[in-house]
A and B are shown apart, each in its own frame.
Chain A
Amino acid sequence: MNNLSVESPPLSWWSAGILLGLLQVLAVGLTKPLDMSNEFIVADAKTLKHLAPEYAKTHPLAGNEEHTKFGYCSWFCIGLVGGGLLAAVRLRTWRARATTAWWRRNHNAPVVLRLIAGFGGGVLMLVGAGLAHGGTSGHLVSGWAQLSLSAVPFTIAMLGSGMLVAYVVYPRTPNITKRGQ
């Protein structure tokens, strides 16, 4: 398995999909549907409230109690990190790496560029998720689960630009390993 190969996941597509779907159903039954992107905004609003309390008071987001509360979603994010770490260690897949097979296949550039692209992409993603009031989990997964109207324009816009950018940035395909190979 070299760096130009995309490794196959431990679970098959159908069992992984069903498991994730059932977890979503459990979340809907217990608390509320998945939505992670809002937590970054909550973290920032909370920081703003501590650093500039005067400005935060007049701000429609930072002054809103709902956007500065350390609640269920914040604990969910901590759990997400813990669960990911445990699973990776248990599966022995934990290893420090900074680049991807698609990146290496397409760009003969230093790893720093990948990190810079990651940073830029992160900025864009959260600005977009903020404007749309949700990201992949909030609109694509939970939006369709609840059949919300907002899921339709989000899916069209997100997949349209996402596929276009992926096509422009990653034109060459690396070797994608299938399960059982």
Chain B
Amino acid sequence: MLTPIVGLIMGAMFGACLVLAGLTDPDKIIGALRLKDRDAIRTILVFVLVGMLGTWILQLCGTANLNVKPAAIVTVLIGGAIFGIGFGLTGFSPGTVLTSAASGRIDALSTIMGMLCGAHVYVLIYPRVAEPLEKIANYGKVTLPEITGSSPATWVIPILTAGVFSLILLRRQRSQKVEPQHEVGEPLIKEDFYATVGSSLARECAEAAQVFVRWKNIAFAVIILCLLLLQSSFWLAKTGHVKIDGAARTDQTRLVRKAANPAATEPERSAKEKVAQGPPEAGQQLKRYTSLITFGRLASAVRIANMLLVFASVLYALTMFCTMTVSLGGQNHICRAFYLSLVLLLLLLPWQIVFNSMGSGVIYTPGELARWCTADTSAGLGALLLMRFVGYPALAAILLFLAQWRSLRWRRTLMRELEQE
């Protein structure tokens, strides 16, 4: 007796919410599929994410009623592709089409007729086509945590994080909307200003900005190259393609240590040989080429890269600052770019030299590299090593690209504004 009532109430609430969310409108669905209607994409994304989070919590409480579909990969792929064609063509889904028809859409009625015919076609072809196909690559009613032998949390948390990150990225539309508001107040100042000083000042500023931008781009290229060089040096040392000189592990105190205790380097040498042997079969050809690279040469390259990296990142932040001061538009973007370049500079600088082990920059010394690569990586050090030498530079690279992207947007905004003058 309760089933019809619960079904009716749940259906009514869901139908009303679909109308309120605008998802019954095929225009919103097509806008989402064309990646033009960000609000529709965000609605669907939040819908899926909240549903996932809530279902997970219910699962933890033991009160979830699940209905997992069979994962017959071939039929799901074919079915999904055919479904997508209809979905993209009409902008309706089997759920929204009913609500859409109820809200006055005649095209939804024709789609419902089509769906009923489609259901008939499916029922007719089921014994001959669908049933045999379902037996291919059928994993049964399994979930991702079950098939991977992991807990749901390992799936839910990363997916939620990725979803939230996507929502943040989709926020970009708002900043575009803000721009005209920002420009509204400007013409008054500009008109007065140019009336007295003349537009030659704007031209001069634009020319200065162009020079700075050119130098900034050179610094950007140098930073990228140096980061790549440091990264390849790390991997050469890590994979054992470059023999690590045991004494080089503490490059600043190398001479002192050698003189004081020459025997201390012996165990280190055996460790170094172990690393130098590397995997027995892999990279034989690479080894032939990399045998020319000794650790001494690698250390010099790292030192040069470090020096260039410091100079280039300081120059990058400085030129960004100068560009900001001469810019006559798009201040929002260039200020953000400058701030990002400052953070990048702070991340790059080798703080471990100043603060010893209390802080660390992306830049590493050859001694540090040797010390880390010959260290025992069993007790969780492996992950730390990768974070230090790969994750940290990757973070710096992301910041660098963000700064560059911001400055690109600044340039576009400025050009647009100058054209309007």
Whether A122 pairs with B118 at a CB distance below 8 angstroms is: yes
- Return the chain B residue nearest A60 by Cβ: B127
A20-B82 in contact given A94-B104, A100-B91, A142-B67 (Cβ < 8 Å): no
Complex CA gap A138/B88 in Å reads 17
Judge if B386 is at the interface, Cβ distance under 8 Å. Answer: no
- Give the interface residue-count category, chain B: 35 or more
Judge if B106 is at the interface, Cβ distance under 8 Å. Answer: yes
Chain B 79-105, CB within 8 Å of chain A: the 1/0 string? 111111111111111110111111111
Whether B50 pairs with A24 at a CB distance below 8 angstroms is: yes
A9-B30 in contact given A121-B85, A149-B147 (Cβ < 8 Å): no
Shortest distance between the CB of B249 and any CB in chain A (Å): 46
Chain B 382-402, CB within 8 Å of chain A: the 1/0 string? 000000000000000000000
Complex CA gap A107/B70 in Å reads 39
Whether B15 pairs with A173 at a CB distance below 8 angstroms is: no
Whether B19 pairs with A45 at a CB distance below 8 angstroms is: no
Whether B69 pairs with A83 at a CB distance below 8 angstroms is: no
Whether A87 pairs with B121 at a CB distance below 8 angstroms is: no
Judge if B31 is at the interface, Cβ distance under 8 Å. Answer: yes
Whether B76 pairs with A13 at a CB distance below 8 angstroms is: no
Judge if A7 is at the interface, Cβ distance under 8 Å. Answer: yes
A82-B102 in contact given A29-B63, A119-B114, A153-B80 (Cβ < 8 Å): yes
Whether A23 pairs with B34 at a CB distance below 8 angstroms is: no
A10 proximity list for chain B (CB < 8 A): 19-20, 22
Chain A 114-143, CB within 8 Å of chain B: the 1/0 string? 111111111111111111111111111111
Complex CA gap A100/B25 in Å reads 8
A88-B103 in contact given A59-B127, A72-B3, A131-B130 (Cβ < 8 Å): yes
Whether A126 pairs with B20 at a CB distance below 8 angstroms is: no
Whether A16 pairs with B51 at a CB distance below 8 angstroms is: no
Question: Secondary structure at chain B's binding surface: helix, strand, loop or mixed?
Answer: helix
Complex CA gap A151/B119 in Å reads 21
Complex CA gap A135/B80 in Å reads 8
Judge if B276 is at the interface, Cβ distance under 8 Å. Answer: no
A131 proximity list for chain B (CB < 8 A): 75-76, 78-79, 82, 122, 130, 133
Whether A28 pairs with B14 at a CB distance below 8 angstroms is: no
Judge if B274 is at the interface, Cβ distance under 8 Å. Answer: no
Whether A88 pairs with B21 at a CB distance below 8 angstroms is: no
Whether A62 pairs with B123 at a CB distance below 8 angstroms is: yes
Whether B110 pairs with A119 at a CB distance below 8 angstroms is: yes
Chain A 14-73 residues near chain B, CB threshold 8 A: 14, 16-37, 39-41, 43-45, 48, 59-62, 71-73
Select B81's contact among A26, A115, A151, A160, beta carbons within 8 Å: A160
Judge if B144 is at the interface, Cβ distance under 8 Å. Answer: yes
A29-B64 in contact given A80-B99, A145-B51 (Cβ < 8 Å): yes
A150 proximity list for chain B (CB < 8 A): 68-72, 76
A87 proximity list for chain B (CB < 8 A): 15-16, 19-20, 103
A60-B126 in contact given A16-B22, A25-B58 (Cβ < 8 Å): yes
Complex CA gap A49/B126 in Å reads 15
- Return the chain B residue nearest A117 by Cβ: B89
A128-B86 in contact given A80-B99, A145-B55 (Cβ < 8 Å): yes
Question: Secondary structure at chain A's binding surface: helix, strand, loop or mixed?
Answer: helix
Shortest distance between the CB of B421 and any CB in chain A (Å): 27
Judge if A96 is at the interface, Cβ distance under 8 Å. Answer: yes
Judge if B47 is at the interface, Cβ distance under 8 Å. Answer: yes
A102-B91 in contact given A9-B20, A79-B10, A87-B19 (Cβ < 8 Å): yes
- Return the chain B residue nearest A132 by Cβ: B79
Select A176's contact among B31, B42, B58, B108, beta carbons within 8 Å: B31
Shortest distance between the CB of B291 and any CB in chain A (Å): 45
Complex CA gap A90/B48 in Å reads 27
Interface centre among B10, B11, B130 (most CB of A within 10 A): B11
- Return the chain B residue nearest A39 by Cβ: B94
A43 proximity list for chain B (CB < 8 A): 116, 119
Select B31's contact among A102, A120, A121, beta carbons within 8 Å: A102
Judge if B265 is at the interface, Cβ distance under 8 Å. Answer: no
Whether B52 pairs with A147 at a CB distance below 8 angstroms is: yes
B6 proximity list for chain A (CB < 8 A): 30-31, 72, 75
A147-B144 in contact given A14-B46, A119-B111 (Cβ < 8 Å): yes
Task: A28-B58, A87-B19, A135-B93 given; name 20 further pairs at CB < 8 Å.
Answer: A6-B25, A17-B49, A59-B127, A75-B6, A81-B15, A82-B102, A84-B101, A98-B105, A121-B86, A123-B115, A124-B83, A125-B94, A128-B82, A129-B83, A129-B94, A130-B130, A136-B94, A141-B48, A148-B142, A169-B89
A-B residue pairs in contact (CB < 8 Å), sample of 27: A9-B39, A13-B42, A14-B42, A20-B47, A21-B53, A22-B54, A39-B94, A72-B4, A72-B6, A72-B7, A79-B8, A80-B15, A83-B13, A83-B16, A93-B103, A100-B107, A124-B118, A125-B94, A126-B94, A128-B79, A128-B84, A141-B48, A142-B51, A149-B144, A161-B85, A165-B84, A173-B36
